[in-house]
Chain A
Amino acid sequence: MRYLKLYSTYAKLSLMSKLVYKVNAIIGVIAFLFTEATSLLTLYILVSSVPSIDGYSIYHIGFLFGLTNMAVGIDHLLTDRLWTVAYFEVKLGKLDHMFLRPLPVLFQVIASEVQLEALGELIIAAALLILCGSQLTFTGGVGAVLLVILGIICAAVIITSFKIMVASLAFKFKRSGPLLQFIYGFSGYTKYPMKIYPKIIQAILTFVIPLGLCLYYPFENLFAPMENAPLIALAMVGFTAVFSAICIFVWNKLVKMYESTGT
């Protein structure tokens, strides 16, 4: 409860400081809107050149794109400061003040930035889910919808967990931004149906970086209900819980290696 109160205070401060520079905030949102819109247009142009891809229509692919973007957008909205930790803040010794407060550093890093730019991603994601969803026939019931919602949450937590773990490497190596960029890139590959990839990539996206497990299988379950859907839900939650615990453990170990810069 105390952390919830603190989080809302931090979030309010972050929003207030961002809204002081309204033009910057608008440019940020528009920039992400452009990025997502052009990425979507590219996909549309490609996919519309054939009637369907392995049985998926343009609406299926648009819907999956929306699901992925929703998970990526949630992570972007809530945990964006991990990027600056990985790229600059450890190297420049800018986290000193966080070590002086009686609060976990990870909590402060996450709570101190609400990234409004993510609204660009979330708007596109919501529009796609509504527009493409209205053109599709869902055979899965309420359970299938709940599995999709659970999948989005788990995928967002997994992306954040990867970010926490890779950003924490900066405490040892001073800078881990490029590696974070590399790992983060995998979140984009679940925009396309996994069937189009070779088996080895499907396995990586299911078991190693399980964004496919959290987004693709619940997506499939909406159209062709799977008997083992409860098992998939269990696997998603189990993996997410264990993986995020490991990532936080790694952060807590490495954060002790933080060194302030000299004068």
Chain B
Amino acid sequence: MKNIKRTLKLYLPFSKAGVKIELAYKAQIVMWMIISFIEVFFVIFLYEAIYRNSPDGMSSVINGFSFYDMILYMITSFFFTFLMGSGDTSYDIATDIREGTIANTMTKPVSYRLRHLFTYFGVFGFDAVVVLLPFLTVVYGIFIGTGLLQVTAGRFILNVIFFLLFTIIAGFVNNALSYFIGLMVFYTDHLFGLNMARNAIQGFLGGQMVPLAYMGAVGVVFSYTPFAFMNSVPVLTLMGKVDVMQAIIYILIALVWIFVIELANRLIFRHALKKLTVQGG
């Protein structure tokens, strides 16, 4: 208990700094949201055309999704993707490595990993509270209010509890992967390319534009990858498409993934430090 208090006292200022960083880029966040929302808007037209052309028309249910389910999935996925874009740890690590400031951080009595984790959760928490939750409250209020999403109050509360839990898990998985990508800059400095490849894989395996249910058996396999925990699993949970037993299985698998990625990060960091060269001034 004493250790936890000490850790929080030591690292919470990093989270506060993360919030301040996020506040400094408000215009950029708004622009990013507009761009992404237009993209989602265009994809909804594509879905509309698909449902219109399916045998039962707009009332079709394709792979377990009605047309309105798809709209809800796309909107929830859009906000969740926004949250996963918060706080670029890989960029911060790349800057530390390129500019040699990583040497300074080694001399300080703070863990390099925890420093980044707490900074990230400052940004993540801010975006979750200020953007994700208010917008989703409005969207789900409209869908439940108009009867487009039919769910009992008790079940919806359960969905929300699991969704919040999965959101926190998604934060840990996301940051562990960002840290992993950042560490790759020890070996190649093409961070832009690495992040681009990661975003492409994450978007596809995480079901950002198309639910994994559309991919059949392969989609089931994908739903157990770390990327699914960064979009598909939390989104489907909030929509009520994941039952309690399955949610518990997902939580256990996610914890295993976090452990595996963090272990890999620790090993890579140790290896990378041995070959680190920082030029003196």
B-facing mask of A8-43, CB < 8 A → 1, else 0?
Answer: 000000000000010110011011101101110110
Known: A46-B214, A196-B49. A38 touches B204 (CB 8 A): yes
Once A32-B196, A38-B204 are accepted as A-B contacts, the answer to whether A45 and B190 lie under 8 Å apart by CB is no
Q: Which of B32, B49, B197 contacts A27 (CB 8 A)?
A: B197
Does the CB pair B197–A41 fall under 8 Å? no
Chain A window 159-187, contacts with chain B (Cβ cutoff 8 Å), 1 for yes, 0 for no: 00000000000000000001101100100
Question: Chain B contact residues (Cβ within 8 angstroms of A): what range?
Answer: 35 or more
Interface SS of B by simple majority: helix
CA distance A52 to B49 in the complex (A): 10
In the complex, which residues of chain A have a beta carbon less than 8 angstroms from the beta carbon of B31? 178-179, 181-182
Q: Which residues of B contact A95 (CB under 8 A)?
A: none
A48 and B96 CA atoms in complex are apart in Å by: 46
Whether a CB of chain A sits under 8 angstroms from the CB of B215 is yes
Q: Is A239 an interface residue (CB 8 A)?
A: no
CB–CB B32/A196 < 8 A: no
Give the chain B neighbours of A189 by CB distance below 8 A: 42
Residues of A within 8 A of B210 (CB): 42, 45-46
The answer to whether the Cβ of A197 comes within 8 Å of any Cβ in the partner chain is: yes
How many residues belonging to A are interface residues under a CB distance threshold of 8 Å? 37
Judge whether B35 and A31 touch: CB under 8 Å. Answer: no
List B residues 169-209 near A (Cβ within 8 Å): 188-190, 192-194, 196-197, 199-201, 203-204, 209
| 7 A–B contacts, CB within 8 A, in A order | A23-B190, A38-B200, A46-B50, A50-B50, A50-B54, A181-B35, A185-B39
B28 at the interface (CB under 8 A from A): yes
The reply on B153 being an interface residue by CB < 8 A is: no
A51 interface hit (Cβ, 8 Å): yes
A192 located at the interface, meaning its Cβ lies under 8 Å from any Cβ of chain B in the complex: yes
Among A28, A188, A198, the residue within 8 A (CB) of B39 is A188
What separation, in Å, do the CA atoms of A142 and B257 have in the docked complex? 56
Interface string of A38-80 (1 = CB under 8 A from B): 1101100111011111100000000000000000000000000
Which A residues lie within 8 Å of B214 (CB)?
Answer: 45-46, 49
Determine the chain A residues whose CB is within 8 A of the CB of B189 once the complex forms.
24
Using A23-B188, A24-B189 as known contacts, say yes or no to A42 and B209 having CB atoms under 8 A apart.
Answer: yes
A interface, CB within 8 angstroms of B: 21, 23-24, 27-28, 30-32, 34-35, 37-39, 41-42, 45-47, 49-54, 117, 178-179, 181-182, 185, 188-189, 192, 196-198, 201
Instruction: Report the minimum CB–CB distance from B208 to chain A (whole Å).
Output: 9
B45 contacts A197, C-beta separation under 8 Å: yes
Contact status A34-B190, CB under 8 Å:
no
Distance from A174 Cβ to chain B, minimum over Cβ atoms (Å): 13
Residue of A nearest to B46 (CB): A192
Q: At the interface, yes or no: B34 with Cβ under 8 Å from chain A?
A: yes
Q: Which residue of B lies closest to A39 (CB)?
A: B200
**Interface 0/1 of B203-237, CB less than 8 Å to A:** 11000011000110000000000000000000000
The smallest beta-carbon distance between A220 and chain B, in angstroms, is: 16
B53 CB contact (under 8 Å) in A21, A42, A54, A117: A54
Which residues of chain A are within 8 angstroms of B188 by Cβ–Cβ distance?
Answer: 23-24, 27
| Given A24-B188, A53-B50: A178 touches B32 (CB 8 Å cut-off) | yes
- Quick check: A31 and B196 within 8 Å, CB to CB? yes
Contacts A27-B193, A27-B197, A182-B31; is A41 near B204 (CB within 8 Å)?
Answer: yes
Residues of B close to A179: CB separation below 8 A: 31
What separation, in Å, do the CA atoms of A106 and B28 have in the docked complex?
A: 27
Which 9 A-B pairs give the minimum distances between C-beta atoms? A38-B204, A196-B49, A24-B190, A31-B196, A27-B193, A31-B193, A31-B197, A178-B31, A34-B200
Interface contact B53-A53, CB-CB below 8 Å? yes
B62 within 8 A of A: yes
Output the nearest chain B residue to A184 by Cβ-Cβ distance.
B35
Given contacts A41-B204, A42-B210, contact A30 B193 (CB under 8 A): yes
Q: Which of B49, B53, B63, B201 contacts A38 (CB 8 A)?
A: B201
CB distance from B32 to the nearest CB of A (A): 7
Q: Which residues from B are CB-within-8-Å of A41?
A: 204
Could you tell me which residues of chain B, from 20 to 45, have a CB within 8 Å of some CB in chain A? 27-28, 31-32, 34-35, 38-39, 42, 45
Which A residues are in CB contact (< 8 Å) with B38?
A: 182, 185
Whether, in the assembled complex, B69 has its beta carbon less than 8 Å from a beta carbon of chain A, the answer is no
B33 CB, nearest partner CB in chain A, Å: 11
A51/B53 in contact, CB under 8 A: yes
- Nearest-neighbour CB distance to chain B for A27, whole angstroms, equals 4
